Each structure stands twice: as C-alpha cells, then as structure tokens.
Amino acid sequence: MAILLGLVILCIYLFRSTTPQQESSGLGRSTSAYITVGAFLLGALCSGIAGYVGMWVSVRANVRVSSAARRSAREALQIAVRAGGFSALVVVGMAVIGIAILYATFYVWLGVDLPGGMKVTDLPLLLVGYGFGASFVALFAQLGGGIYTKAADVGADLVGKVEQGIPEDDPRNPAVIADLVGDNVGDCAARGADLFESIAAEIISAMILGGTMAKRCKIEDPSGFILFPLVVHSFDLVISSIGIFSIRNTRDSGIIGAVEDPMSILQKGYSVTIILAVLTFGLSTRLMLYTEQAPSAWLNFALCGLVGILTAYVFVWITKYYTDYKHEPVRTLAFSSSTGHGTNIIAGVSLGLESTALPVLVISISIISAFWLGHTSGLVDESGSPTGGLFGTAVATMGMLSTAAYVLTMDMFGPIADNAGGIVEMSQQPESVRDITDVLDAVGNTTKATTKGFAIGSAALASFLLFSAYMDEVASFAHVPFNQVDIAIPEVFIGGLLGSMLIFLFSAWACSAVGRTAQEVVNEVRRQFIERPGIMDYKEKPDYSRCVSIVASASLREMIKPGALAIISPIVVGFIFRVLGHYTGHPLLGAKVVAALLMFATVSGILMALFLNTAGGAWDNAKKYIETGALGGKGSDCHKAAVTGDTVGDPFKDTAGPSLHVLIKMLATITLVMAPVFL
C-alpha cells in the first residue's frame, strides 16, 4: 500500500506547479518528486522496522520476566523495564538518525547555501514525505494491531472467563495464545510505530517552523534553529537511559507486598528523567537558539520547553488519576459493578467523558503560554512584527516529547508484564508468582494508559504545528497570503463538519471490526469446547493455531476500510472543492475547506481519543481492582459485571483510541504533502 501511494505522490509532484523557492534554487519538478517519494518510502520502512523491533524484544523478554518473578518481584520489574527501554531507545534513535541522514544527504546533494543553490531554511520542507510515510505505516500498525489484540482478548474472555469460568490466560482456552500474541502486536509493534511517527512529525514540523522564522528574521546563521529538534531528541536518548538504569534490582522476599509499589519505582525513574530533561533542554536552547538580534530569546524558548515538560508530566498524572485503581474514579467505577452490568457501563462512559476536561484545559494553557513566550522573545521580522509565537509552540512540543524514550519504556513495560503473567498461568506456576505478575500487569495497564494520554497531548501540539506549516505551504504555492480560515463561509463550514464526521465514522468502523472478528473467535472457542470435551480435563490440547489464523487474517482484512477512509477523505474533499472554487471564482476554496477539515478533525479526534482511552483503561483496572479481592473478588457477580465493562472498553482503549491520535497527525502530514492538489 505504501508503494502504491508512493506512485500516486510521484504522479502528483511530477505535474504540479513549483514554489518560488524551488524555482530560485533550480530544484525541478522531477527532482522534487523523487525526493518526496524517497523520503516517504524511507519513513514507511523505518516506521515498520520500529514496530518490528518492539515486538522482537517483547517476545524474548516476557519469558525472562516470568522466570524472574519466581525469584524476586523487583528483578521481574527491572527486566521488564530494561527490555522496554531497549525498544524505546531504538525507536527514538531511529527517528533521529533517519531525519539526520536525510537532512545531511539533501544538504550535500543539492548544494545547499552554495551560490545559486537552495537556502538552508527551505530544506526542512523536503523532509515532509518522511513524516507522512511514518504516520501512514503507524496508522495501519495501530489499526491492524488493535483489531488483532482486542478481538482475541474479547473472544478469550467472553467464553473462557464468563461462560466456562476458567481463569484468564488458562491453557485450556483455545484463544489464549492469540491473546498473548495480540499484546505484542497491538501494544509493542503498534506503539513503537506510533511514537516513532510522533517524534518524526514533531521534529520535521519544528524544523520547518524554525527555518521559516529564521528566514523572516534574517538571522545570519539559521542552522541552530533548524537542527535544534535533533539535538533535543539526542539528549532524550541519554537522559532516558539514565532514568531506566536508575531502576536497580535489590533482592527481596518475592512477595510483592514486601517491596515498594512498582508504580512508585517507575515514577521515581520518570522524575529523574524529567529533572535531567529540564537541565539539558536549557543547555540546548542556550547553545542552539542564541542570536545577537535578540540575546534573551533563548531564555524565552527554554521556558517554552519547560511548559512542554510540565504539560507531559501533568498529562501523565491526570491519566494515572483516572485509570489507576488506587484513586477514587476507578474505585467508584468498580463499586458501580455491584449493582449490575448496566450501571458499570453507565459509570464507565461518564468517567471517560469527564476525563476529557482537564487534559483540554492543560493543552489550552500550554499552547497559549508557549505562543506568548515565543511572541515576546524579541525576534521580529523586517516590518518589526514579532515572529516567534509559532516556534515557541514548536519548542513546547519538543519539551513535551523530550522524555519520549522513557515514556515509551513505561508503555512497552505493560505488554511484557502482561505476557509474563500469561506464561506464568499457562505453565501453572505457584499462586505467589502469579500475584507478582498480576500487580506488574495492573501497573502496566496504567502505564499504557498514561502513554496514550501523553501521545494524545503531543498529537494535539504537533497537529497545530503541522497545520501552521500547511498554511505556509499553501501561501508559497498560491503566491498570496493564507493566514486565516473563515468558517462563516458555508463550504468551509461543511469541510469542518466532514472533518468531525470522519473521526466518528473511523472510530465506528474500528470498533465494529473488533466486534466482527471477536464473534468469529467466540464461535471457534465455543466449537472447540463442545467438540473436544476433554479440553476442560486437560485430556485434550486446544487448537490454538486456528484462533491465531482467524485474528491474523481478519485484522489484515478489516484495517483496510478505515485506513483507506483516512487517506482518501482529505484528498477527495480538497479536490472536489478546488473544482467548485474554480467555477465560482474562489481559487483558494479547496485549500480552505481542507484546512477546516483538519482543524475540526483535530479537535474532535483529541476529545474522542481521550474519552475512549480513559474509559477503556478505567474499565480494565476496575476489573483488576475487584480481582485483588475487593467487592467479592474473582467469580462474584460484581466481577462478572466488571468483565463486561472491560470487554466493552477493550476496542475503545486499544483499537479506536490509539488509532485516532495517529489519524490526526496523518491527516496533518497528508494535507501538507498534498497541498498542490487543493490549488
């Protein structure tokens, strides 16, 4: 699919108009086309490798964690964290080195800053294809992985836990292997590709805005403003490594209650990383963003970074509050299960809806604060107007993602711990070992939820930056200013409605794909229990491979429709309104309608993703809380109601929710790459 889309992009770029910058630098249509397609395919390849690395590490680490849990809780925690850390560092490192190699290659090949050559401030726009390729693969990885893991999980739970009354991950359940594989596919492969794409999109958009601002301000050496994002993420690799290694193994009795809470240990590592991020970010701004034109501007940008780092920390805390069973919201949700399945669902939906308020307030404050700090940095254009506002927001986004490697480590920790619990159950280890992996799994659920909250926050800021870059790109192609979108124009308002509709339709298709596949799994598991009665007495072995093949083929099949909707919609809408604008005398109508589609889709998508992720995470941990022995414990009516809530929440938190924030960024990058189509 990436190769097919690469050919489409090649055709569009070969027949499009060129920008004044390209004309002045002698960069022809064919060269521009091959550069964009090459960058797109490289981004797609690297995103796929990032996902594969996450899964490769996970399937090797989970056995080691289950073995370590027999000896010590702290040792199991340390192995899971370091395995997740290895994947995270590879993913972030690939994002940085991929963009650095592309930048260096284009710089030398195109003779940048030589007489008659391209200006260095225009170079970052050539990297947009890399971000699009990364988000394209990440969307399909997240969609396909989410459908795979949740269809297997729902199918295994509905028949095994609810109908047959056997424990989770019991070896007698024919869907248990598919469920364990799904954790790796949906959480490790998909999240690796997801965060790779987040970092790539944010670096490229910040480089574009840094170059644009440096050009407007006539800064003598703009390279510091362009290369700043790469320096920040290089430091991220170092400080996150220190944070990961701060979690040391101290031998304990092996009973989880005898040691410190795993969540507090992970939080201490995160606190170490945050402190180091503040120090290295300040150093980076002083070294890279100091300019004689505004000697104190670097300090303002350092404060923008601090705003981003605080935003990330607050986002993690808010998500933890709404999804960890140590806090009131999840305990209230668990208590609602005591009156039945219906009240559990109502409480979960209301909790998810409520959880959108605080993150939106935090995002709003961070965007305003960062924009104002950048605006007052002292950097002005030829007319004396302040120009640092958008770059300030870009620096805040970099601050938010300056601890991305450690946050991704906490996310990868979740599925590794979950798989370790499954291996312990299937190999019939003592109850004390399962107690250790259960607590690690519950902590993993919370860390996965916090990573999703973190990813949504960064997606909101990155989409805002890419939207600004899109408006600049349209202005350079159209040779007229394009700095505002009027939604009072009926066609533009319709574009906004279509953007919001796209989010709801995409979510519906993603959830229904899980539902359809889960039905196939349920029917297969029921068939095996009926036709092979010896399974329940351990006399016959279930056919695990049948369930694996069902979810694998279904996830590949089901992800195409919502994925195609996401890619085709903005292109078709932009082209239709471009033609309409041509006949009605509004040459920029197509670009304006797509801008509205992008704005409304971003706003709707952020709120919907927050709702889906938090509700799903809360339902899951409410079930985990009851399984600790609260409110009647495993097998009680209260537990059965909580299992229903968890089943409803599964496609929310692991399929539709995570796919949405990837969709938002992919819409932003596709509109940036396809801008000429709308003019």
Q: How far apart are CA 474 and CA 68, in angstroms?
A: 56
Tokens of 607: 């709120």
Q: Half-sphere exposure of residue 162, counting CA atoms within 13 Å on the CB side?
A: 21
pTM over 0.75: yes
Q: What is the mean pLDDT of residues 43-57?
A: 88
Strand partners, 422: none
More confident residue, 105 or 292: 105
On average, the pLDDT of the chain sits at 85
Q: Please say if the pLDDT value at position 111 is more than 80.
A: no
| DSSP string for residues in 80-102 | HHHHHHHHHHHHHHHHHHHHHHH
Say which range, 315-319, 613-617, 673-677, has the weakest mean pLDDT.
673-677
Q: What is the mean pLDDT of residues 602-610?
A: 92
Domain assignment present for 257: no
Phi, psi of 524 (to 5 degrees): -70, -45
Domain assignment present for 99: yes
Percent of the chain with pLDDT over 90: 23
Q: Please say if the pLDDT value at position 255 is more than 50.
A: no
pLDDT digits (tens, 9 = 90+) for 339-373: 989 999 999 999 999 999 999 999 899 989 999 99
Range of the domain at 48: 1-248+263-677
Q: Please say if the pLDDT value at position 250 is more than 70.
A: no
What band does 249 get if pLDDT is binned at 50, 70 and 90?
A: low
Domain assignment present for 661: yes
Q: How far apart are CA 378 and CA 384, in angstroms?
A: 10
Domain assignment present for 254: no
* Amino acid symbol at 556: L
Residue 493 and residue 487 in contact, taking contact as beta carbons nearer than 8 Å: yes
Q: What is the mean pLDDT of residues 602-607?
A: 92
Query: Which pLDDT score is estimated for 254?
Result: 43
Domain assignment present for 41: yes
Q: What is the mean pLDDT of residues 121-141?
A: 85
- Residue in 649, 650, 656 with CA at minimum distance from that of residue 349: 649
Domain assignment present for 275: yes
Domain assignment present for 253: no
Q: How far apart are CA 31 and CA 110, in angstroms?
A: 10
- Using alpha carbons only, how large is the chain's radius of gyration in Å? 25
- Residue in 606, 649, 643 with CA at minimum distance from that of residue 624: 643
Q: How far apart are CA 221 and CA 290, in angstroms?
A: 10
Query: Which pLDDT score is estimated for 356?
Result: 92
Q: What is the mean pLDDT of residues 433-459?
A: 80
pLDDT digits (tens, 9 = 90+) for 462-484: 788 788 888 877 887 777 888 78
What's the total number of domains in the chain? Answer: 1
Residues 6+ apart with CB under 8 A from 410: 81, 84, 266, 270, 447, 450, 451
- Residue in 135, 215, 591 with CA at minimum distance from that of residue 391: 215
Domain assignment present for 281: yes
Q: What is the mean pLDDT of residues 281-295?
A: 87
Percent of the chain with pLDDT over 70: 96
- Residue in 646, 658, 659, 640 with CA at minimum distance from that of residue 615: 646
Query: Which pLDDT score is estimated for 257?
Result: 43
More confident residue, 13 or 10: 10
Query: Which pLDDT score is estimated for 412?
Result: 85
- Residue in 495, 464, 468 with CA at minimum distance from that of residue 364: 464
* Amino acid symbol at 648: V
Residue 517 and residue 524 in contact, taking contact as beta carbons nearer than 8 Å: no
What band does 495 get if pLDDT is binned at 50, 70 and 90?
A: very high
The alpha helices in 246-290, defined as continuous H runs, are 262-288
Query: Which pLDDT score is estimated for 25?
Result: 57
Query: Which pLDDT score is estimated for 22?
Result: 59
